[in-house]
Amino acid sequence: MTLNTDFQEKFEHRHIAPNEHDTAQMLAAVGASSIDNLIEQTVPA
């Protein structure tokens, strides 16, 4: 295994939270229009 010292991606960029674009893509993948809609579809009343 080799270490790539040129790799500069920051930890916080990967681990803080998804951005709006990423969230929209994830919601579209599961057929939900919003996070609230996703919760309504998945959590029993």
21-42: pLDDT as tens digits: 999 999 999 999 999 999 999 9
User: Is this prediction's pTM over 0.75?
Assistant: no
Q: What is the rounded average pLDDT for all residues in the chain?
A: 86
- In this prediction, residue 34 carries a pLDDT of 97
- Across 19-39, b (16+ Cβ under 10 Å) vs e yields eeeeeeeeeeeeebeeeeeee
pLDDT band at residue 13 using 50, 70 and 90 as cut-offs: low
Instruction: Provide the 3-class DSSP secondary structure of residue 16.
Output: coil
Rounded Cα gap, residues 3 and 32, in angstroms: 40
Rounded Cα distance, 1 and 18, in Å: 30
